[in-house]
Amino acid sequence: MLLEILPYRAAGAAENMAADFLLLKRAPSDCARFRHYGWRTPAFTFGYSQQIAFVRSQLPEGGPFDLCRRATGGGLVDHRDDWTYALVVPRGHPMEEMPASQSYRLVHEALAAALVAQGVPALLKPVAAKLESGDHSGSSAQSGAPAGVCFQRAEVFDVCHATTGEKMAGAAQKRAKQGMLFQGSIWRAAVGIDVDWDRYGEDFAARLATTLGAEATPAPWPDEIGDDALDALAEGYRAPEWMAFR
């Protein structure tokens, strides 16, 4: 099986969420797909089940921000200084058939290993006894953070900084009949050192390919996800009905 590495794109929040969802809904059965992408303007996304009133209450001062509800779960994510990616795994692949907690762990193990290769002391939360006991100031601060706000509160199998206890990476998943969508983010401010993010992206993709039992290969943007389809779905993601769905 191939893991297709799609080209980098920067877009608005609705366009990025539409692209990820179309990659899931039009996923081929014989390959996985990975993409790293950016944001045209300061943006936040929030989980499918979150209440819009809560989300707006947690936004920082200094807006307005580009805001969009995701098709995946999870909390409010600040994309102003993050490294964002999406992974689509086809239906029937062993990872797609795993419990969500196990697929989450496997992807984050690859992510953490790629950070460690760059000199970042990264680990998964359950492995770190000091993080669990609250010995670090970063983890004690997170323990009082509101649930539903990403990077302020580490959950099981999130990636944390081994020294500061800060959460560095989180993600959310969605499963459909075509496969699994994994949307993830690394908060660069918590990493603490300069990282070669281009090299990191290549290493992370290679490690994901190994995890999936696939071969990583660069690929063009899929023909079946053209501009017309993206524009149409992005309109839906911008609609007030979608934003205030809960």
What are the residue boundaries of the structural domains of the chain, listed by start? 2-243
Q: Tell me which residue of 177, 206, 232, 242 sits closest to 19, measured CA to CA.
A: 232
**Structure confidence by residue, pLDDT tens digits, 42-62:** 999 999 999 999 999 999 999
Between CA 6 and CA 99 the distance in angstroms is 26
Confidence of residue 138 (pLDDT cuts 50, 70, 90): very low
Its pTM stands at 0.91
- Quote the pLDDT of residue 63: 87
- Quote the pLDDT of residue 149: 74
CATH class of 2-243: alpha beta
Do 161 and 138 touch, CB atoms closer than 8 A? yes
How many other C-beta atoms lie within 10 A of the C-beta of residue 166? Answer: 22
Looking up tokens 């992005």 gives 234
Between CA 69 and CA 245 the distance in angstroms is 9
**Structure confidence by residue, pLDDT tens digits, 65-113:** 999 999 999 999 999 999 999 999 999 999 999 999 999 999 999 999 9
**Structure confidence by residue, pLDDT tens digits, 140-182:** 334 445 557 777 778 899 999 999 999 999 999 999 999 999 9
Stronger pLDDT, 128 or 147, i.e. the higher one: 147
